[in-house]
Chain A
Amino acid sequence: MELGERLIKGDKRACARLISLIENNDNRAIEVIKKHYNKTGNAHVIGITGPPGGGKSTLTDKLVKLLRKNDKKVGVIAVDPTSPFTGGSILGDRVRMSDLATDPGVFIRSMGTRGHLGGLSKATKGAVNILDIYGVDYIFIETVGVGQSEVDIVKSSDTVVMVMVPGLGDDIQAIKAGIMEIGDIFAVNKSDLDGADKTALELEMMLDFKKYDTWRPPVTKLSAVKNEGVNNLLDNIINHKEDMLKNENFKLRREKNAKLEILNLVEEELMEMVHKITDEHEGLDTIAKKVALRKSNPYTSRDEIIKLIKK
């Protein structure tokens, strides 16, 4: 049976294989997504982001376990950084999700960023599509914990949970511009430690700066290791989607995300074309050399490359 057929039947190996293929930008995976895209869109895609070591994986583990009690099928994509020097990586998020490994209703996949910035890998959205076709009800995406530039997660999910921890103090101030825009829900994890109330209060104060017509991001305190307050967070996650569905917001968010997804794909393809076409002619290095020696200039070079593409 071909991979796509196996995927819609819920075959784990086919799912795993197709995610590898999409990571490689392989046409076989792209064809499967094209063919079955009309079956996607049902899964609630939840981004889990926040500073390194904040407890994102531990929390994801607990959220998935709660959903499994209601017999929901769940997918998890956990992204960790790839070393820019060696191209290698250690993907360690599974350590916190060991119990889920043998659960037939859970699919966990670790991905390296492979040179992509913004907290996700280039193929993360493709992997989400594949898990959606595979037939999960919920998809969690755990981003790289970079702290301030995980903007990509917003483009890829319906609900973003920003995981904070007590004692970030001034750091919250420093990174607030980034994080306050990103979070649909703020989770103050490690509330078993001192300072959680203060962090929660500071977050509320920062949220007060903005006006909200509909959804105001809730702030919830919890402890993932002690498994306290996690059901509260899950309620918030589910409420967020329901709230968006009550008005136009869900439709608008999906439209906005689709637009960004298309533009990203076009951009990647265009860049590939640029490299290919310049290689066929004098090569980007030669063009660059001419510009560096002032025998040409960047703008004329751009015009010439664009002309080649348009032909």
Chain B
Amino acid sequence: MAERPIRVLVAKPGLDGHDRGAKVVARALRDAGMEVIYTGLRQTPEQIVSAAIQEDVDVVAMSILSGAHNHLFPKVVKLLKKENADDILVVGGGVIPEDDIPSLKEAGIKEIFTPGTPTTETIDFIKKNVKRK
């Protein structure tokens, strides 16, 4: 039997409509053999966590270009912890200032991918850091 594919929830929290990056990442992960569940725009942290649990994903990957990352990314990590689902790998991307990255990582977002990062880097990171259940 083939190894089961890595399941990734690609979500866009917050109110901005910049979905190109999320879609580029979703397609890249698919092409790397992953099963990508795309939730679409304007998801609340509660919706993202609820979907992550029902879909039993290995990774939650979020994209924000609006500047709301300092609030929304840590909130998702916190809610996952509350649901005892903190074995899920959380990564983020989008327009995120260098200065914000250390505190986001401290809050439990394992890696942040900013504009210009090749998607292969994201793929490698996920493959290396995902915890298979």
The chain A residues found within 8 Å of chain B, CB to CB, are: 12-13, 15-17, 19-20, 23-25, 82-83, 86-92, 94-95, 98, 101-102, 107-110, 112, 114
Q: Beyond A12-B54, A88-B32, is A95–B39 a contact (Cβ under 8 Å)?
A: yes
Chain B: minimal CB distance from A307 (Å): 26
Tell me the chain B residues, 20-51 only, with Cβ under 8 Å from chain A: 26-27, 29-40, 42-44, 46-47, 50-51
The listed residue (A94, A102, A112) touching B5 by CB distance below 8 A is A112
Residues of B contacting A12 in the complex (Cβ-Cβ under 8 angstroms): 53-54
What chain A residues lie within 8 Å of B4 (beta carbons)?
Answer: 20, 23-24
A13 with B83: CB separation less than 8 A: yes
Contacts of A20 in B (CB 8 A): 4, 7, 56, 133
Q: How far is the CA of A112 from the CA of B8 in the complex (A)?
A: 12
CB of A92 within 8 A of CB of B32, answer no
Question: Given the complex of chains A and B, what is the CA–CA distance between A90 and B61 in angstroms?
Answer: 14
Q: Are B30 and A94 in contact (CB under 8 A)?
A: no
Query: Are B54 and A108 closer than 8 Å at their CB atoms?
Result: yes
Q: Does B40 contact A94, Cβ atoms closer than 8 Å? A: yes
Task: Report if A90-B47 is in contact (Cβ < 8 Å); known contacts: A20-B56, A109-B55.
Answer: no
Which chain A residue shows the least CB distance to B39?
A94
Verify A86–B32 contact, CB threshold 8 A. Answer: yes
* Residue total for B at the interface (Cβ-Cβ under 8 A): 34
A-B pairs with lowest CB-CB distance, top 4? A95-B40, A88-B30, A16-B56, A101-B47
Q: Which residues of B contact A (CB under 8 A)?
A: 1-2, 4-5, 7, 26-27, 29-40, 42-44, 46-47, 50-51, 53-56, 83-85, 133
Across the A-B interface, how many residue pairs have beta carbons closer than 8 Å?
Answer: 91
The residue of chain B having its C-beta at the shortest distance from the C-beta of A16 within the complex is B56
Complex CA–CA separation, A262 to B29 (angstroms) = 35
Contact of B29 among A13, A15, A88, A92 (CB under 8 A): A88
Return 21 A-B CB contacts under 8 Å, by A number.
A15-B54, A16-B54, A16-B55, A24-B1, A82-B35, A83-B30, A88-B5, A89-B35, A90-B26, A90-B27, A90-B30, A90-B38, A91-B35, A94-B38, A98-B39, A98-B42, A98-B47, A101-B43, A102-B50, A107-B54, A108-B54
- Shortest Cβ gap from B18 to chain A (Å): 16
In the bound complex, residues from chain A placing their C-beta under 8 Å from that of B46 are 101-102
Residues of B within 8 A of A102 (CB): 44, 46-47, 50
Tell me how far the C-beta of B73 lies from the nearest C-beta in chain A, rounded to whole angstroms.
18
Query: Hey, which chain B residues are within 8 Å of A15, CB to CB?
Result: 54
User: A101 to B50, Cβ gap below 8 A?
Assistant: yes
Q: Does A92 contact B1, Cβ atoms closer than 8 Å?
A: no
CB distance from B48 to the nearest CB of A (A): 8
Contacts of B50 in A (CB 8 A): 101-102
Chain A residue contacts of B31, Cβ below 8 A: 83, 86, 88
**Beta-carbon contact of A101 and B51 below 8 Å:** yes
B32 CB contacts on chain A under 8 angstroms:
86, 88
A2 to B: closest C-beta gap in Å: 16
Find out whether the CB atom of B33 lies under 8 angstroms from the CB atom of A87: yes
User: With A13-B85, A102-B46, A102-B47 in contact, is A109–B33 under 8 Å at CB?
Assistant: no
Most buried by A among B33, B44, B54, B55: B54
Min distance, Cβ B63 to any Cβ of chain A, angstroms = 14
Considering only CB atoms, which chain B residue lies closest to A25 in the complex? B1
Give complex CA distance A278, B31 in Å: 32
B16 CB, min distance to chain A CBs, angstroms: 16
**Residue in contact with A86 in the complex, picked from B30, B39, B44, CB distance below 8 Å:** B30
Q: Which residue of B lies closest to A108 (CB)?
A: B54
**Which A-chain residue is minimally distant from B29 (CB atoms)?**
A88
The CA of A109 and the CA of B53, in the complex, are separated in Å by 10
B35: which A residues are within 8 A, CB to CB?
Answer: 82, 88-89, 91, 112
Nearest CB of B to A40, in Å: 20
